[in-house]
Chains A and B, each alone.
Chain A
Amino acid sequence: MKKNKKGFVLFKRKYLCIPYGLFLVLFIIIPILIIAYYAFSDDTGALSLNALVGFFTSWSKVNVLFTSVFIALQTTLLCLLIGYPLAYFLADKKVNKNAVLITLFVAPMWINFVLRTGATRDLLTWMGINGGNAPYLATLIGMVQNYLPFVILPLYTTMLKLDKSQIEAAADLGANPFQVFYKSILPQSVPGIVSAFTMTFMPTMSSYVISDTLSEGKITLFGNYIYLDFANNLWHDGSFMAMIMLVIIGLTMFLTRNSGKEEREGGASW
């Protein structure tokens, strides 16, 4: 560190990140390290594999992992199927000139998440779809309802950047609409699809409020288990499941590290 004549440390702009740096270390890095330690220790503080053994020998827990992955995949696919044409139409100047519409699709996020979930449940109950007769369907509807905006935003960002002249050229050169879509539009929108996938898949897997509310407790997801462990002070089991979550997230991020980063950040800073 450079010092001036009086012995004070000279100011540099990079020192401004010290408070936030300390905050990140204290409340993000250290807690994650504590989770890692808790996942592989017991109540006396000694290292132990109890949580690991407990997880993999419990059929219901492994089963919940698979159910969660399955529901999350289904939700993400449904969201993509609904959201893809939507984003395409929203970004197409010939169809939609109104920029307010995209804000309207994000605006439900400003209404409290739990309240929205409750509203969906009450409406579905009124329509006769409830946790009693169709817990799975109700959960799926609630998930799609809630996570659709997460898909629309990154897809919309990509769609705005589509190379119009390439699409027109393909059509001029004799490609039929299906070929134009398959050979030109779809490949161009892969980054948006990837980031939409990561932005939906992870939260769905770990969510527990939606499945708890809409299935009236009949469907248990990975998040529910972590919450139950938390509620019953089973810190070590909970930490181990959180570690599994972290590993899955890490893998997804690693596999998608090169594509869709821009869209993700664009989506994050709307």
Chain B
Amino acid sequence: MVKKIIGQCYIWLILILMYLPILVLIAFSFTKATNVGVWTGFSFDLYGELFQNKEVMVALANTLIIAFSSAIIATILGTLGAIGAFYANKKFRKAFEFVNQIPVVNAEIVMALSLAIMFAALPSLLFKTDLRSYWTLLIGHVVLGAPFVFISVKPKLQQMDPSMYEAAIDLGAKPHQALWKVTLPEILPGVFSGFLLAITLSLDDFVISQFTTGPGLLSAGDPKIVTLSILVQDKIKKGPIPPVMRAMTTIIFLLVVIGVIGVSIYRNYQAKHMVSKKVRRV
């Protein structure tokens, strides 16, 4: 009983400390002062300003576009890679998994620098141009996400009954039909969590973005694509977080809360589903 009380207190204490900076930011999103800690009366003005702030809105759009497009590409590449490597011979598979593991364990800044040299330093040395653009930013984010898709799909392949694909082929399915109708549904949870992970990593990324970004598609007239991370870093280098971004934090936080609720509902559903599946098999 004592252990339970101590444990609960400890868990909540750390949780509150972890969220404290964000919660303070949210609290001060309802006042217009330039600094956190100064209260100049309650108002919703910052929320109105946020949606009229072109800089923030463009950065937000850039971030979302990059996150979704890179996650989709990473999911396709990583899933196909995982299936292919799983059915290749052992030596090849081991080598493949080793290379896939490199970006996972590597320091982000090393990956970022290597891509920057490949896209900027080397081309400017050889052809006097800088290749960095929307496309290199996209590649950078795929590098970030695809290895994690690979890692989340792999265990699902191991759990799969290997004779199911063979059975589908024996029953006359073409390989692409068997892959689409038999293999894919079996590994779908892994593909899905890989996709979510790729989106998360992309949304959160700063280092790779800063090193690989270049002139872009959306922000015409602007020399470089600015993602949210790049914009925020640029602002906080010079001073406190701009007031409008406090309002933005509230919105992001609400989305995260919805996400957490969604995840727990999904887990509950999955747990119940698994139980009923097992019962049926018995």
Interface residues of A (CB under 8 A from B): 11-21, 23-25, 27-32, 34-35, 38, 43, 45, 82, 85-86, 89-90, 92, 94-96, 99-101, 103-105, 107-123, 125-126, 145, 148, 198, 202-203, 205-209, 212-213, 223, 226-227, 230, 233, 235, 238-239, 242, 245-246, 249, 253, 265, 268-270
A148 touches B236 (CB 8 A): no
User: Which residues in window 18-32 of B have CB below 8 A to A?
Assistant: 18-22, 24-25
Contact of B113 among A21, A27, A239, A270 (CB under 8 A): A239
* Stretch in contact with the other chain, from B47-55, B117-125, B218-226, B273-281: B117-125
Q: Are A114 and B232 in contact (CB under 8 A)?
A: yes
Chain B residues closer than 8 Å to A38, beta-carbon distance: 117, 121
Q: By the criterion CB–CB under 8 Å, are B114 and A20 in contact?
A: no
Closest to B9 in A: A89
A115 to B263 Cα, complex, angstroms? 23
Closest to A233 in B: B121
Which of the residues B107, B122, B143, B267 comes within 8 Å of A99, measured between beta carbons? B267
Chain A, residue nearest B92 (CB): A14
Is B66 engaged at the interface, CB distance under 8 Å to the other chain?
no
A46 CA to B33 CA, complexed, in Å: 56
CB B164 to nearest CB in A, in angstroms, measures: 13
Known A16-B83, A89-B7, A89-B10: A245·B193 in contact at CB below 8 Å: no
Known: A20-B80, A198-B105, A223-B109. A86 touches B19 (CB 8 A): no
Q: Which A residues are in CB contact (< 8 Å) with B111?
A: 28, 31
Query: With contacts A17-B81, A122-B25 known, is A31 near B259, CB below 8 A?
Result: no
Report chain B residues within 8 Å CB of A32.
102, 114
CB-defined contacts of B256 to chain A, threshold 8 Å: 107, 110-111
CB distance from B13 to the nearest CB of A (A): 10
Q: CA–CA, A186 to B233, complex, Å?
A: 40
Q: A12-B87, A242-B109, A246-B110 are in contact. Are A235 and B11 (CB under 8 A)?
A: no
Q: Is B18's CB under 8 angstroms from A105's CB?
A: yes
Check: B137 CB closer than 8 A to any chain A CB. Answer: no
Contacts of B71 in A (CB 8 A): none
Q: How far is the CB of A203 from chain B (nearest CB, A)?
A: 7
Q: Tell whether B217 is near chain A: CB-to-CB under 8 Å.
A: no
Minimal Cβ-Cβ distance residue in B for A23: B77
- Offer 5 A-B interface pairs, CB within 8 angstroms, sorted by A: A14-B88, A16-B179, A23-B142, A115-B228, A118-B240
CB nearest to A38 among chain B residues: B117
Find B96's partner among A21, A31, A105, A202 (CB 8 Å cutoff).
A21
A24 B232 Cβ-Cβ under 8 A: no
Would you give the shortest CB distance from A207 to chain B, in whole angstroms?
A: 8
Given contacts A94-B3, A105-B18, A108-B22, is CB(A119)–CB(B259) below 8 Å?
A: no
- B139: A residues at CB distance < 8 A: 27
Q: Which residues of B contact A112 (CB under 8 A)?
A: 203-204, 228-229, 232, 252
Given contacts A86-B10, A119-B21, A269-B148, contact A21 B81 (CB under 8 A): yes
Q: How far is the CB of B279 from chain A (nearest CB, A)?
A: 21
| Interface core residue of A92, A105, A145, A269 (most chain B CB under 10 Å) | A269
Q: Are B24 and A123 in contact (CB under 8 A)?
A: yes
Q: Which residues of chain B are within 8 angstroms of A24 by Cβ–Cβ distance?
A: 81, 96, 99-100
Nearest Cβ in chain A — how far from B260, in angstroms? Answer: 5
Q: Indicate if the CB atoms of A16 and B81 lie closer than 8 Å.
A: yes
Question: Is the C-beta of B134 less than 8 angstroms from some C-beta in chain A?
Answer: no
Are the CB atoms of A235 and B148 closer together than 8 Å? no
Whether B282 is near chain A, meaning CB under 8 Å from some CB there, is no
Q: Contact: A17 with B84, CB < 8 Å?
A: yes
Pairwise interchain contact B113-A226, C-beta atoms closer than 8 A = yes
**In the complex, chain B residues whose CB is within 8 Å of the CB of A116:** 21-22
Give the contacting residue for A235; candidates B37, B84, B121, B143; CB below 8 A. B121
Q: How far is the CB of A74 from chain B (nearest CB, A)?
A: 18
Cross-chain contact A35 with B110 (CB below 8 angstroms): yes
Would A96 and B11 count as touching, CB distance under 8 A?
Answer: yes
B residues in contact with A11, CB < 8 Å: 175-176
Assembled-state Cα–Cα distance A94/B3 (Å)? 9
With A108-B19, A148-B18 known as contacts, the answer to whether A119 contacts B249 (CB < 8 A) is yes
Find out whether the CB atom of A27 lies under 8 angstroms from the CB atom of B264.
Answer: no
CB pair B109 A227 closer than 8 Å? yes
Set of chain B residues within 8 Å of A111, measured between Cβ atoms: 22, 249, 252-253, 256
Whether A209 touches B14, Cβ cut-off 8 Å, given contacts A28-B102, A198-B105, A230-B116, is: no
Known contacts A20-B77, A110-B204; is A34 also within 8 Å of B148 by CB?
no
